[in-house]
Chain A
Amino acid sequence: MVRDAASLANQPPVLEINDLNISYFTRAGEIPAVIDFSLTVRQGEAVGLVGESGCGKSTVANAIMRYLGNNGRIVGGTVKFKGRDMAELSEEELRQLRGSEIAMVYQEPMAALNPSLTIANQLIEVPLYHETDCTPEEAYQRAIDMLANVRLPDPERVMGAYPHQISGGQQQRVVIAMALLSNPALLLLDEPTTALDVTVEAGIVELIAELSEKFGTSMLYISHNLGLILETCNRVCVMYSGEAHEEGDIRALFDRPRHPYTHGLFGCIATPGTDKNAKPLTPIRGQLPLPHERPDGCNFGPRCDFFDKEQCGHGLIHMREVNPADNHRVRCARWDEIDWSTYEVKSDTREPLVPGEVVLDSDEMQKYYPVYDRSIAAMISGRSVRYVKANEELSFIARKRQTVAIVGESGCGKSTFAKVLMGLETATGGALTFEGADVSRQPVQKRSARQLGSLQMVFQNPNDTLNPSMTIGRQIARVIRKFRVESNADLVEERVLRLLDLVKLPRDFARRRPRQLSGGQKQRVGIARAFAGNPAMVVADEPVSALDVSVQAAVTGLLMDIQREYDTTLLFISHDLGVVRYLADRVVVMYLGQIMEQGQTEEVFAPPYHPYTEALLSAVPIADPNIEKKRIILEGQLPSVLNPPQGCPFHTRCPRKLGNICEQTPPPAVEDTEGHIIRCHIPLDELRAVEPVIRTAAE
């Protein structure tokens, strides 16, 4: 993407991995984590490594650094860095190599920085340690220059700061600066933006692309997000269950994926072309095999529509060359037989649901958290209590059978709203009418069993949503009894089993414990539990964001099916605009506790936009090379909710800021079409004239 493929192909290789096999040795014996893996990264090239959790992509990165832990071992093949075999290096040579020639950027910036040292101390250490003739003054100067290179405002101040004094996005920039300080030949990025908000992620992604151009550093970019890879890499390698299944130049692989798994993966991603009714996502059937239960032959075999016992069912399937011109290789025995142009996945199109009566009406709902300042100065000035305005006058409605999405970045107050709605917190103002009764100041203890049962929640973290020490059956049965759906033991059990059927899990799961289930299966149990009380409304707080892409499609599909069956209202809380566009009927965009824009999904995703919505949309990576996107990078950081900006909350970062009016006067709510409301000072006509963020390139 950054440089053309032809010139890269002539560059000398920096990293050569040949027939690499890595195993972990555990209680259960030897477990192969990476099988027959080969990859070459040339000078100045950015190679993406994508795959779902457990596919071995991080193991590859660790093997390059020779950080496999106590129980991991390379059992075959070689990793060569600049022609030297990594396995033959001594500990001392390795130490010299790590951090100077090969640098790594991790997922959690806070964990990568030492909280008790200033940024300056951590940065100057790098050249001082790796270069014998470097003086402290020189190191300091280089550190400051590098901070400017990673576009941190005010590098002097950042140098003197401790990690907790700067934001997550800034921390990640510091980590990248640290990695680049010794001018490494290879930069390993392991999910560098996964822990960050989308608008911050967009900034980092742009930075990475810019830096690789500027310094000519080779990069290995590990991610689960195909959209991100498309935006940052020249070449990509798709891994599945320990094996590389497809590899090639970015355009070749995105335009003409050859492997059924890659194909299936693209079918699972919500892109602007998908629609939950007319063109639903097609999940890959079955699930990822456990490392010690991999099938004979092709690992993807049991989930593949083209599986042929003769060709795919035996031994190791080797990588085959598809097209040497674009480095396209695929691990599929039948790649040249499959005709993708005639292949059609049977996806059942559905009639759109017709929204019914109003189920939830939030009328200027407000939630302030008091923060007590116990300092003497505050007591004298009389300002000992300040308020965190987590929710400021939220007004919107949700109807029966409707899916309403609340989107926004972390700290925007979307989870606070869910807490008030569920009765875990009480509102400080306004009203929240659910099925005719105001529940805004009615904590969960004061709600009737019927009310509780008709308003349930699906949680974000699959590993946290189920009690690890109770069987699945007991957890669902408890809900049924609690909401008095059934009381007779046999009937309860019968209903537990029917709920398991509903979420498409085998019935014997009732006897299992959560740790025996995969993430997607746990999330299904969470859904079964939420629907056990026949709810009128289900609040889903990021229900799929912790799941792998192929599982996401199945879980969202399941949610929609159950919604259809029970006429449930779905309140979908998410930061992932891709999934929201696909799933929601109405979208509410929040920023710093306030609603900036709301309307029907197609209205919100097309001009007129609120400038914040516009920035959010442009920040979301899209895994479709035919989509052209406007780039809007938000400057500055998210203001603190304790001290929100006067006037429009977004004015500090808004690229379309008008002037004083934005800083002083709260923006008016302007109605575009019925129900599509934008809170902005910019006249609607001007917003309408904005060119759309996303355009499909001419075919």
Chain B
Amino acid sequence: MTEQTAGSIPRRPNKLIGMLKGVALIRESVVGMVGMGLILFWVIVAILAPILAPYDPLVQMTPFATPFTKAPEEFGGTFWLGTDHLGRDILSRIIFGAQRVLIYAPLATFCAYAVGIAMGLAAGYKRGWVDDVLSRIGDIILSFPILVLYVVIITTFGASGINIILAVTFASGPGIMRIVRGLVLDLRNRDYVAAAQTRGESAWYIMFAEILPNARGPLIVDACLRLGYTTITIGVLGFLGLGLPPPDPDWGGMINETRAMATFAPHMTIFPCLAISSLVLGLNLLADGLREVSLKD
């Protein structure tokens, strides 16, 4: 044990490799791999949207074309998934819609996490009146029907990307706070926290350096799930006409615009629905996989 006391320290192992190794563990879970595959599929689609999309998503061509219909001469190609009531190519709209979802859903979830973590850390670590006040605020928000909350926020401030982020942050922040608070209540009693206290560390340092990094496991799993919920939320908002303003392609909006015609042109509704569910399913499966891998030894 004492052979190596002299000499300098060997080189630090590469951090990036360490992280990749962590990610690679997901390979041990079939479910996680399927989820990861679905998510990666949509990420790649979103990134390569301008290359992959056969048409401009806003251009109006033949309305109500069914899947596999040949496009008119001047546009060329095939409408693989058909067109909607305004003659826009559904495949192209779904591909560009992926971009919107994959920008706004993570952004909104991230903001909700920032707020939830800050509140949860403060409530769990400080306890006392801070905890009482923050927890009661959270309870009040959570006791509201969530959909009503969205409608109120969006109708008050108008439908825009920023307001969707605000609405999601406001509505899911308290839920995240509860999770973080619970984790902090456990972690704050660890000896390493006491050690930090006895050397006079500030509350900020203890919360962010000693406690938060050790809560990351359950939080990452929860973040995956919550990303799925946010995707649904954005879809729902679009469906209610409160989402991203038209004519930009938005999965929820696409369902909303075409639902009345679903009886005779179901392809216009079904494909955006499939897009949303496959992405949400991917996120849920990834969360399950992460949990499974983290419980294994």
Contacts and interface: CB of A to CB of B under 8 A. Distances in A.
Interface of A: 26-27, 285-287, 422-424, 444-445, 447, 449, 452-453, 455-457, 459-461, 464-470, 473, 475, 479, 482-483, 497, 500-501, 504-508, 510-511, 526, 529, 533
Given A27-B296, A467-B214, A507 B7 contact: yes
Nearest to B10: A508
B297 A501 contact: no
B199 A286 contact: no
A506 B200 contact: no
B210 A504 contact: no
A475 B190 CA distance: 15
A27 B297 contact: yes
A452 B194 contact: no
Contacts of B140: none
Contact of B197 (A444, A460, A473): A444
B199 A507 contact: no
Contacts of B197: 424, 444
Nearest to A456: B198
B1 A505 contact: yes
Interface of B: 1-10, 12-13, 28, 190-192, 194-195, 197-201, 209-210, 213-214, 216, 296-297
A449 B200 contact: yes
B239 to A, nearest CB: 41
A455 B197 CA distance: 12
16 contacts: A287-B1, A424-B198, A444-B200, A452-B200, A455-B198, A456-B198, A459-B195, A467-B214, A469-B216, A500-B5, A506-B2, A506-B3, A510-B9, A511-B9, A511-B13, A529-B195
Contacts of A470: 209, 213
A27 B292 CA distance: 13
B199 to A, nearest CB: 5
A101 B41 CA distance: 57
A186 B190 CA distance: 39
B130 to A, nearest CB: 16
A497 B197 CA distance: 24
Contacts of A445: 200
Contact of B192 (A422, A464, A497, A501): A464
Shortest 7 CB-CB distances between A and B: which pairs?
Answer: A506-B4, A459-B191, A469-B213, A464-B191, A467-B192, A465-B191, A422-B198
Contacts of A479: 199
A526 B200 CA distance: 17
B208 to A, nearest CB: 12
Contacts of B1: 285-287, 504-506
Nearest to A451: B200
Contacts of B200: 444-445, 447, 449, 452, 482
Nearest to A520: B1
Contacts of A526: 195
Contact of A424 (B28, B194, B213): B194
Nearest to B25: A27
A456 to B, nearest CB: 7
Contacts of B8: 507
A571 B191 CA distance: 18
Given A479-B199, A483-B199, A511-B12, 19 more contacts: A26-B297, A27-B297, A285-B1, A452-B199, A452-B200, A456-B198, A456-B199, A459-B195, A460-B191, A469-B214, A482-B200, A500-B5, A506-B1, A506-B4, A507-B4, A507-B7, A507-B8, A507-B9, A511-B9
B202 to A, nearest CB: 9
Contacts of B7: 507
Contact of A465 (B9, B192, B210, B297): B192
A460 B194 CA distance: 12
Nearest to B8: A507
A468 B198 CA distance: 18
Contacts of B190: 464
A695 B169 CA distance: 71
A479 B198 CA distance: 10
B3 A457 contact: no
B195 A452 contact: no
A215 B296 CA distance: 42
A27 B6 CA distance: 34
A504 B297 CA distance: 29
Max count, chain A CB within 10 A of own CB: residue among B3, B28, B194? B194
A418 to B, nearest CB: 10
B214 A468 contact: yes
A672 B131 CA distance: 52
Contacts of A457: 194-195, 198
